[in-house]
Amino acid sequence: MGAATDRGHRRIARTGTIVGSKRALGALWAVLAIALAACGDAPPIEPVGHDPLSLRYTCGTFPFGPELLAAGPGRDELANTGPAAALRRYLASPARVQHRVPEHGWRLFGSDAERAEFGSSVLGGMWIVVVRMSSTGWVASAPDTCQPHLVLPAGLGQASWTIDPAQPRPAPMTQVFDALVTERACANGERADARVVGPQVVRSTDVVLVIFAVRPRGEGARCPASPATRVTVDLGETLGSRVLLDGGRLPFGDPSAPV
């Protein structure tokens, strides 16, 4: 990502203050709940409010906020706990060198009596190590890579978006622009035209997040690449000097780059 995107990540951890019009201040979960209600299936949903730091993402079992990534490298591998000790044993092993994962900078995303998840940032995503309780104690599994994604209610799937390269890039005076929304799940190589939910706009003093979701086609869909769906986005006010980002993933996505 560019320098502007990096600045946006740092600022969002520091401010978390939302300003804006009534349209942009509708909570993300409220929008998604209405979409599900239209399908006759509306589970109880807790609103996330209007603060970017209230959004929750996951790489597995435990949700976490964007401040974990914005805060930089962690030191949770040094904690005096059973899961951290198991992680240290893995990090000191030849397997870590073979897997080319970082030796330091790990953060604990969450844990319970049976499982703990640690993550370490890499360019555009994360390394994840899951530590599980076994009959002999805590044991670290082989690492995996992850693109943290937004936690959504049941019945909705992940989506990413980019700026239309054929149109001018949003500028400080831009309020309305077209986004190209791509479903992440298999969709038979078809657009998500009637299944796109959103956009939801979450605005801070330094960052504007635009978030989409989709109603998935369900199991059995084939997986050729799906073309993007064009959706008009109204930010509710001009962009100004703020950084425009895709809030459906972590690190927040640069919409000028291919997904």
pLDDT digits (tens, 9 = 90+) for 186-230: 766 677 788 888 888 888 888 899 999 888 876 666 676 778 889
Structure tokens at 250: 């972590």
User: Can you tell me which residue has the tokens 């995503």?
Assistant: 125
pLDDT given at position 114: 97
Could you tell me the pLDDT band of residue 259, with boundaries at 50, 70 and 90?
low
Amino acid at 35: A
Q: What percent of the chain has pLDDT over 70?
A: 73
Range name among 23-37, 144-158, 176-190 with the lowest pLDDT average: 23-37
User: What average pLDDT does the chain have?
Assistant: 77
Identify the burial level of 259 via C-beta atoms within 10 angstroms of its C-beta, where 0-12 means exposed, 13-18 middle and 19 or more buried: middle
pLDDT given at position 88: 97
Q: What is the DSSP string of the chain?
A: --HHHHHHHHHHHH---B---TTTTS-HHHHHHHHHHHTT---------S-GGG--EESSSS-B-THHHHT--B-GGGSSSHHHHHHHHHHTSHHHHHHT--SSB-EEEEE-SSEEEEEEEETTEEEEEEEEEETTEEEEPPPEEE--EE---TT-EEEEEEE-TTSPPP-TT--EEEEEEEESS--TT---GGGEEEEEEEEBSSEEEEEEEE----TT---SPPPPEEEEEE-SS--TTSEEEETTBSSPB-TTS--
Instruction: State mean pLDDT over 154-175.
Output: 90
Instruction: State mean pLDDT over 147-160.
Output: 84
- Closest alpha carbon to 60 in 129, 133, 122, 138: 129
Q: Give pLDDT tens digits for 16-43.
A: 322 333 333 234 444 444 333 333 333 3
Contacts of residue 22, Cβ cutoff 8 Å, sequence gap at least 6: none
Structure tokens at 198: 């959103």
- Closest alpha carbon to 48 in 21, 66, 36: 66
Between CA 237 and CA 244 the distance in angstroms is 13
Amino acid at 156: L
Residue 230 CB neighbours (<10 A): 13
Q: How far apart are the first and last CA of the chain?
A: 12
